[in-house]
Structure 1
Amino acid sequence: MLLWTAFALMTGAAILAVLWPLRVQREDRLAGDAEADLAVYRDQLAEIERDRASGLIGTSEGDAARTEVARRMLRAAERSGEATHPSDTRRRAAAVLALIGVPLLAGALYLNLGSPTYEGQPLAARLDAQPGEADVAILVRKVEAHLEANPDDGRGHEVIAPVYFRSGRYDDAARAWSNAIRLLGDSAAREGGLGEALVAANGGVVTAAAKAAFDRAVALDPMAVRARYYLGLAAEQDGRKDEAAAIWGKLAADAPPGAPWLPTVQEALARVKPASGPNPSEVAAAQNMSEADRAAMVRSMVDGLASRLAQQGGGIDEWLRLVRAWSVLGEGEKAKAAAGDARKQFAQDSAALARIDELTRQLGLGS
């Protein structure tokens, strides 16, 4: 109602601005000129009467003069009427056009271009809207306003913490997770969220506080993927690559088929895993071995590769090397089993699967 009242006042002001210049027009000046002429003619009649009374003109001459002046006065009066009435008509037409035409034109444009049936959207209504219907910034402000009034609402802190993190507000995210833990208690998800926010706030460095949060998360849930990954990263950043390889290898081995985070773990594992194959001293020693000892050494190496891949995972080249090694050693069933494990490991990698299929075909291992 208030909005329409404002619209009405604005329309009235616009109409007034249009009508105001029409109040004085040229015909008003013409009417004023006619009145001036009539005043002159009246003075002439008075002068004629004086002249006739003083004998300066005769009666017939005076009557003729009076008749001529009267005729002029009539013409002036007619001009005055003609100037007044058309002016009134034009003013009325302009007023009607302004009072009716302008609102009608504005209404027609609004109906055509506007949204007259759309309900109003005050801020309070938008704040009460469902999350899928509201802007993220409004949701954040809504939760922040709620937490300002209810600072001990742990659930509110838990809800806004990941939103802060996705928005790049890492310090706020860490603070929100800390409040959620303080008010709601420990959980692997909350401790993991706190640790991840601390890592992001420190440019990717796993600080002591972040590592402590990840340790608590793993203590609460030994299968917590996020915490285990960052504990491996902490070991790598501290120079303990063997420990990092062991953590990430176990994480890769525990991954369900098609886990979206598995490629990230495999990439990290490739950075820290020790190189496979014999070292120079082992190669030199193998040259002096008997065929049986040399075969035993090769089998030991293949067993070690198989054990490491089962525990820590590895790249596609290592899996293919294992399949080929078992096949060369005459262990066809173990080669098939290794190929099956490799397919599970790379279930979402079509290129890797194609390489596995090609190798098993070449080695005659079947499907």
Structure 2
Amino acid sequence: MTFWIVSGAFALISALWIGWTLLRPRVDSEGPDALDLPVYRDQLKAVEKDLARGVVAEDEAERLRTEIKRRILEADKAGGAETRVAPRALSFGVAALGGVAVIGGAFLIYEAIGAPGYGDQPLSKRLADAEQARRDRPSQAEYEANIPPSPTPEIDPQYAELIEKLREAVVERPEELEGWVLLARNEAQLGNLPAAHTAQAKVIELKGDGATSQDYTSYAAMLIQAAGGVVSQEADRALNGALELDPKNPIARYYAGLMHLQTGRPDQAFAFWEPLLREGPPSAPWIPIIRARLESVAYMAGMLDYQLPPEAAMGANPHGAGGPSIEEMEAAQDMSEEDRQDMIQGMVDQLGRRMAEEGGPPSDWAKLIRAHGVLGNTERAGLIWSEAQRTFSSEADLAPIRQAAAFAGVEEVGPNGAGPSDEDIKAAAEMSPEDRETMIRSMVEQLGDRLATEGGPPRDWARMISSLGVLGEQDWAAAIWGEAQERFTDPEHLAIVREAAVAIGLEPAQ
């Protein structure tokens, strides 16, 4: 109220000042010419005195009198002219309009760009208020009390009976960790989130120092979902526990940013979310959520010129084929480590089936190899890498798949189980001549059959030529080199095969 009184008083004073300026009476009614008449009269008297003292001659005195009288006539004429003054009513009208414009305009401008009803908000006060809001948040129980009850899902009676037995079992054997793990997962699947996070809290308690960052993240996710998407004090502590064990945990970092946004610290939310957006990967389920909100978060944090980084190229499905959706990510938080691995394995198998039936771009091959590498399926990752080498002939296509193969530790796997890799050829050099020839000839024949029927990428042709060189089959190698020159029109592809031909003496070095 004090603000309005002070600002209103200043606006009124400004309006009165404008009105007084317009309406005040004129002090002097005579113009500057009228003020000159006494001076001219004094000058005439001075001429007469000078003539009497003999200072000037008669003819000079007459000339001076004539000039001074001319000036007196001009001044008298100007002073008699009518002075035009604005009508009084018009002055009052202009003053009134000026006052209204000043007072009304000030209030309209403040209404548009000000914050009526808010006090001064210096940075120190806003930071203190945000910290206070974080400390004074309602508890998890208070948040849950305000959530309307959700309808009870229809479940299979046998499943319901098993869940009830599981609930009784953990009460009878409260120190059995596996029971609490199963209960937390199944309660979450049933939508009983309060019961789920209670069970997950028991899991963390039983694990003690052995609790993982993922355990805390799952607990926090259950709490947040149970509170309707709000990060309570309990969820905040769970996130802190997750980040202490793994500062790079992306889901914990996402929820930590959400917590800061909810408690009035958009600058801290930006500090959590912006690196997450840049780190990716683009298929991560939290990326579209952050991208949709980060510009407004930056604006609230005072970064008015912030621009989102360019969005990475993705297919029609932003999560990639078989990639996890946001709902799947949230569901994964409520699972045990074993079930989460099963879920990921299921999605990977789904992607593998789709690629087997429909094929896919190099990015899908790379994603599948990486996924198998994460799951520890090294043998499967090697088979897919071998198939990719047979499928793609362009080095540009193979480059991202090769990186994924290096990540999974299978980069050295050859393009075909029957075909020799570089390591096979090196190992053969250490064998007895008979054994080496037998091994290499067998693999070469199989590789030759495949190249004749199916073709293959340039590296397969290069390996074939290198193997024939070891066997001393120069004529056969020359025939393969000649066929490769007809098959590969791309100079880059042909250069790969030429390197092998040069190595065994079929082509001169360039």
Question: Is the pair's TM-score, using the shorter chain for normalization, greater than 0.5?
Answer: no
TM-score by length of 2: 0.29
TM-score by length of 1: 0.39
